[in-house]
Amino acid sequence: MGFNTERELVELFKRSFTNMADPNKNSKILEEVSLGFGIADLVISEYKDCVSCFEREQLTPIDINVYQIIKNKKRISFEAIINTTRSNKQSISKSLEKLIKGCFVKKEDSYYEFTNKYELSFKKSIAFEAKLRNWKKALTQAYRYKWFADYSYVVLDHDHSKSAIENIQIFKDANIGLITISTDGSLEYYHSPQKQKPIDPTMQILLSEVFLYSKEVD
């Protein structure tokens, strides 16, 4: 019969996957992670113990965009940042204050200079898209998560996974994993993807900020 709802599937998968995880590795699980490329049902990260927030505010997409501009230019004026971002002066000034406080940039005369590289809060990240049976839609959504995650998986109800398994080559070609789960919590791996550098570094930093400042789900 399979699962009645996707929520039921996700909850059981979360428990089953956690039980199989290495207890010696520090990991954090977040649900319904939205970074602008769809909403990932689960994102699991193996985080670094040494990472600190330095008592700073969480960086927003605008802050990260400004950081990336300064990092790429090394040295840039306030006016040039405004022209590049097309944002208002108030929001850019606030972003620069946060970046200076976080020791990412510094101000020298009328210029802003890159000082320290942003350190990700995790060693690796894994995104999961769960569906009861529509594997094609799940695959499309899982592909979007490659913009910010090191690994991306589709999780399907085992009772409705035959078509996906028959098309496993599509998952391999896309470097996206396929896992099925039964109602008793049993997991079967049909493809495990290779680690792949996220497509968008800005999105990866945004995910890092979400992990730093979000509470783990129960």
pLDDT tens digit string along 59-96? Answer: 999 999 999 999 999 999 999 999 999 889 999 999 99
Q: Tokens 């589709």 sit at which residue?
A: 154
Angstrom distance (rounded) from CA 132 to CA 29: 21
Spatial contact of 126 and 153, defined as CB atoms under 8 Å apart: yes
* Residue at a domain's end among 69, 93, 114: 114
Q: pTM for the full model?
A: 0.87
Per-residue pLDDT, 54: 54
Token pair in block for residue 218? 């129960």
Angstrom distance (rounded) from CA 107 to CA 78: 10
For 92-108, write each residue's pLDDT tens digit.
999 999 999 999 999 99
Region class of 215: left (phi > 0), else alpha (psi between -120 and 50), else beta:
beta
66 and 14 housed in the same domain: no
160 and 207 housed in the same domain: yes
Per-residue pLDDT, 53: 53
206 and 138 housed in the same domain: yes
The structural domain count of the chain equals 2
Per-residue pLDDT, 165: 97
132 and 193 housed in the same domain: yes
Q: What is the mean pLDDT of residues 38-56?
A: 77
36 and 136 housed in the same domain: yes
CATH number at residue 70: 1.10.10
Total residues belonging to the chain: 218
Residue 218 located in a structural domain: no
Q: What is the mean pLDDT of residues 13-24?
A: 76
Per-residue pLDDT, 215: 66
DSSP-assigned letter for residue 188: E
In which domain, by residue range, is 136 found? Answer: 6-47+121-213
